[in-house]
Amino acid sequence: DYPITEAQVKSYMKMLLHGVAFCHENSIMHRDLKPANLLISSTGHLKICDFGLARVFDKNQSNRLYTAQVATRWYRAPELLYCANKYNEGVDLWAVGCIFGELLNKSPLFAGDTDIEQLSLVIRALGTPNEKIWPGLIDLPDYNKIEFPHYDPIPFEELVPDASKEAVDLLQRFLVYRSDKRIRARDAILHPYFYVQPLPCHHTDLPIPKRSKKVHTYEYDLDKPILDSIIDPDLLKNYV
């Protein structure tokens, strides 16, 4: 019921980045990072879940083809919105940037209702891309299917008006058109954002989510003979 503090945002982001870095260092693209796929344990630790769309990637095989129909729309990288079938772990890093922006603003950065609107929101914020800032743009499968007017980029300070200068700097390193220019998770962990006050809080200082499921309470009969509580070993023969 209480808004999370800046120290808590830093703690969540640092745990997320450690998880993403581990995946990428083991050649795994998650391809569906979003708040709904981040779970908080009873001890306050953040866990990445739902690897149903995850794939193994090989940096030495840049020509491998993948489907573009991955990632939830609000966290989908621009190359996926243009239906790219060749991409890398940068799609996860874009999603991390969107999650970070959502934590900073307390609302999604790009909340499109359709893929075209989603791409439009990104372009209105980052400016209209071209071959100079995004080499290979015109070769993307859906590039010629829709044309956007020219937009100048909006300063990131306006996208996240309540964020610190360090947070703004880190965010704009994630939200870059060129996938290979997005800051890698392991490098992001070392960004100054995490080393200026307030520092990331300890996981024990993070809010613990309420459990929605009822916990079954076992009732014990102290007067019941102990022999009546022992399982007959013969009943287990077929399972051992």
Q: How far apart are CA 157 and CA 164, in angstroms?
A: 9
> Three-class SS string for 81-128?
HCCCCCCCCHHHHHHHHHHHHHHHHCCCCCCCCCHHHHHHHHHHHHCC
Q: How far apart are CA 104 and CA 157, in angstroms?
A: 11
- Cα torsion for 51, 54, 57, 63, to the nearest 10°? 180
Q: Is 228 assigned a catalytic role? A: no
Query: Which tokens is 132 given?
Result: 């100079």
Catalytic pick among 32, 115, 139, 223: 32
Q: How far apart are CA 129 and CA 231, in angstroms?
A: 70
- Provide the residue type at 156 as one letter: F
**3-class SS of residue 55:** strand
Catalytic residue positions, numbered: 32
